[in-house]
Amino acid sequence: MALDKNIIDRWQKSNILLLGGSAGSFKLIFSIIKNFNADLNKTVIIIIHRKKNFYSEIEKLFAENSRMLFREISDKDKIRDNTIYIAPANYHALIEKEKCFALDVSDAIWYSKPSIDVTFESAADVYKNNCTAVLLSGANQDGAEGLLKLRKSGSLTIVQDPKDAEMPQMPEAAVNINAAEFILSSNQILELLKTEA
């Protein structure tokens, strides 16, 4: 199925790409960021659920396979273009009006810290309609409320087709509350995010 012109247009116009994923989302996120050129002219923010204490290979793999700058978020980091950020394990990552990150160690949400909801809601507050947000495979309900808030603020919201996701619960939760403007297969998501401005 060919992609809608409207969706390509809005992806190209947005400055921030938010990727939220949990169980079963790693491979797709990996492929997405591997495709990006160093001069994407956007900021990519990844929130991926994972265990604390295991200094995971995820950060290393992403950093080694990305042409864009790749950085695990530190508190008060300025948010820059052409950079991929990943929320650190065991912290929530929020965005300040001054376009910098602020970390938070408060309670886990949906047993998750980092929580996708927290970052998505905060991004909606600061960036309004300037984001493209993609919610991927996962086994809980994190991200749905945050995605809805992004949709209401005018950002482009995409959910991985639950039929296509390894773990359908997370995308389903978002579809159920009508947070998804578009429901796309993993191939369509890859295809869309490959198109450059």
Residue 102 burial (C-beta neighbours within 10 Å; 0-12, 13-18, 19+):
middle
- Residue with Cβ nearer another protein (152 or 163): 152
Question: Could you give the CA distance from residue 9 to residue 5 in angstroms, rounded to a whole number?
Answer: 6
C-beta of 18: minimal distance to another protein in Å?
A: 15
C-beta of 88: minimal distance to another protein in Å?
A: 6
- Residue with Cβ nearer another protein (18 or 189): 18
- Residue with Cβ nearer another protein (104 or 191): 104
What's the sign of the alpha-carbon dihedral 27, 30, 71, 168?
A: negative
C-beta of 101: minimal distance to another protein in Å?
A: 9
C-beta of 174: minimal distance to another protein in Å?
A: 13
Residue 111 burial (C-beta neighbours within 10 Å; 0-12, 13-18, 19+):
exposed
C-beta of 121: minimal distance to another protein in Å?
A: 6
- Residue with Cβ nearer another protein (20 or 193): 20
C-beta of 47: minimal distance to another protein in Å?
A: 15
Which residue do the tokens 């992004």 mark?
Answer: 150
- Residue with Cβ nearer another protein (70 or 110): 110
- Residue with Cβ nearer another protein (117 or 164): 117
Query: What is the contact surface with another protein in residues (CB under 8 A)?
Result: 53, 55, 73-76, 88, 90-92, 94-97, 102-107, 109-110, 117-118, 121-122, 125-126, 145-146, 148-149, 152
